[in-house]
Chains A and B, each alone.
Chain A
Amino acid sequence: MREEVRKIQELLRGQIYIADASVATSLYLAMRLGKPLLIEGPAGVGKTEIARVLAAALATRLVRLQCYEGLDAATALYEWNYSKQLLHIKMQEATLESAAEKEARIFSEPFLLKRPLLEAITDPVRSPVLLIDEVDRSDEEFEAFLMEVLSEFQVTIPELGSIRATHRPYVVLTSNRSRELSDALRRRCLYLWIDYPTFDKELEIVRAKVPAISEALSRDVTRVIQTVRKMSIRKVPGVAETLDWAAALVALDTAQLDQQVVAETKGCFLKDESDLRRFETEVDDGRLKDVFDSIS
């Protein structure tokens, strides 16, 4: 393993993020090749978390752009502060400034509202981490616009001219696959798929994130969750749910899991009414029997 990859893995671990080799390698290459990293995977596996942790590990700023339907350039890049401009014109009505001077003044940086994308490429000190979250929720038009920004790291504001990135941001995009992203955008990015963690990895995450948990309990919690993921339910619990549940059990001073405790706290990891019913049937069918048996 390359020294740099190991170092990234350690840096992430320092931020209590358990990264396997694929995450570390992809992050390393994204930085090395200067390309955006597109992360896909089911909900709750820590896609967004990667960007946050990366920023903390590099001791740099995290600029986040949350995508949604109808997101446009004005909200993502920049907008003129209309109200301030109007107010300024009113206040300066009495001065002898020419119209051209006035215009130059109100279309200058103090009247510019920087939105996340512009914010990310104009950082004066160091490269920030730019997180473009849930890019699949934006529409095709915005995707095209985004690509333009990501390929050049330069934006043009008609009244001001071109602004080029002083420090190129590290770009992380996440997608939940609610819409197929364009091939062009995919091509421009490195690709990382994060799946639900394996038993060992999840166990490690639980112990790292909920340090107060006992060894035995963490093992049982992870086993139950891993079994639940194999059931045919609608909202499969992510790692976040595992951690919620673990924290809840610790708060309740639970020494060990049994059917009773699971039934009382299952709302921590099942968030859908039909899933709860489904889970009960599966438990009655003895689906978790070997887990409970091994506990007692």
Chain B
Amino acid sequence: MTTSETESLLHNTVLFCRALRERGLMVTPSEAIDSVVTLDAIDLDDRQETFLGLRSVLTSRVEDFPIFEELFIDFWNRLSHKQPRKSIERESHGHVRLSSTVRGKGLAFFLEHWSDGKAGAEEAIMPVASSTVSMAEKDFSLFTSDELEEIARLARRIVRRLARAPSRRWEAVRRGPRVNLRRTLRRSLSTAGEVIQLSFRRRKPKKTRMVTICDVSGSMDFYSRMLLQFVYGLQTSYARVETFVFSTSLERITENLKQRSYDEALERLSKGVGGWSGGTLIGASLAAFNSGWPRLVDKRTIVIILSDGWDTGEPSELAAEMAELKGRAGRLIWLNPLLGSPTYQPLVRGMQAAIPFIDVFAPLHNLDALRALEQHLVL
């Protein structure tokens, strides 16, 4: 390989890494260095091996693969210099259309400036990243049933975190991370002061409870099924979750969700619950919750309300019930799918009345929002 060839290889590799980073992959200079080492270590004439080798170095999760594949084609074509520039671009655009239905502006921009070399790539880095559409940013209302599985997975993940949070209290255990000196000494008395058996202690896990109250009225139709999927995921893997749904009246569906599969749970739900997708009486429903299940909520409870705040009842009633709930709960979270829309202002009267009592007011319209929720779910 001549010096100029090495130069151009380096140059193209760096551009390739930048393009990947621009599309959201975790590619830092250290990965770029690794990929240069990789290119040296593998058979550069073997397209598959180059592809597999670089993919191993430059991706870090399987979700990165489509983007990598897409950009690799251009990288490979540039590398091999086998075709004139025009035809390369046409071919790669065509392929993109085939392989990926959601093509971000990032790639188009990048391809346009690919041939200009450095200057173009430099420009391409800044403005376009946010416009890239990925599954994580897609609104729930556009989701297919396949993607529901991802929601369930996320719910399980959040639950694991919830269940694991250690409290500051200790408890004695047979085998644990710390020696329980006090009990060890105490036990040694029975063997004339000789320590034979050690006792241990560990942090007691926190017993956080969660109550979700889910709006299933007409205005929430788009979202309620997704949200129930999420709640189902939470509940199947975490015992201390209570679930309610409401539209004009409140119903406890904890038992209905205790089914082995979501389909079965939905079936039981549709049989057992009336008033789906009707009007909304948030205030009255919360009043029913506060008076009907007062013992469910204490300072170790996170209460999550999923609703868009379109209330046909009296705002003053809602405010009073929210105040009471706020007084008893450890944390009060209101998730509003509409909050994800950039133009949304919480002007709805019901929402206005509720806001002063909310600890966390967050969107819940896509997977990113779900992920962001995780941090609020530990008391």
Contact = CB atoms under 8 A, between A and B. Distances in A.
Contacts of A38: 60
A189 interface: yes
B261 A187 contact: no
A32 interface: yes
Interface string A173-191: 0000111100100110111
Contact of B42 (A2, A183, A193): A2
Given A29-B53, A90-B194, A72 B177 contact: yes
A110 B56 CA distance: 41
B367 to A, nearest CB: 12
Contacts of A69: 160, 164
Given A1-B43, A191-B61, A29 B195 contact: no
A66 interface: no
B105 interface: no
Contact of A35 (B34, B48, B160): B34
B100 interface: no
A192 B56 contact: yes
Contacts of A191: 55-57, 59-61
A40 B62 contact: yes
A22 interface: yes
A110 to B, nearest CB: 19
A156 interface: no
B198 A183 contact: no
A261 interface: no
Contacts of B26: 183, 186-187
A259 interface: no
Interface in A7-58: 21-22, 25-26, 28-30, 32-33, 35, 37-38, 40
A33 to B, nearest CB: 6
Contacts of B260: 274
A139 B57 CA distance: 25
A32 B36 CA distance: 13
A234 interface: yes
A83 interface: yes
Nearest to B371: A180
A178 B160 contact: yes
Given A29-B41, A82-B198, A190 B56 contact: yes
Interface in A153-203: 177-180, 183, 186-187, 189-193
A180 B38 contact: no
Contact of B49 (A2, A72, A177): A2
A189 B177 CA distance: 29
A86 B56 CA distance: 50
A263 interface: no
Contacts of A74: 177
Interface in B122-146: none
Interface in A181-239: 183, 186-187, 189-193, 234
B156 interface: yes
B37 interface: yes
Given A29-B56, A186-B26, A190-B56, A2 B46 contact: yes
A139 B164 contact: yes
B361 interface: no
Nearest to B188: A86
A5 interface: yes
A274 B198 CA distance: 46
Interface in B21-56: 26, 28, 30-31, 34, 37-38, 41-43, 46, 48-49, 52-53, 55-56
Contacts of A82: 179, 198
Given A25-B56, A179-B157, A33 B61 contact: no
A186 B37 CA distance: 19
B37 A33 contact: yes
B191 to A, nearest CB: 12
B170 interface: no
Contacts of B52: 21-22, 25-26
Given A25-B52, A29-B56, A193 B198 contact: no
Interface of A: 1-2, 5, 21-22, 25-26, 28-30, 32-33, 35, 37-38, 40, 69-70, 72, 74, 82-83, 86, 90, 139, 177-180, 183, 186-187, 189-193, 234, 274
Interface of B: 26, 28, 30-31, 34, 37-38, 41-43, 46, 48-49, 52-53, 55-57, 59-62, 65, 153, 156-157, 160, 164, 177, 179, 194-196, 198, 202, 260-261
12 contacts: A5-B49, A21-B49, A25-B42, A25-B52, A25-B56, A29-B42, A83-B198, A90-B194, A179-B157, A179-B160, A186-B60, A191-B56
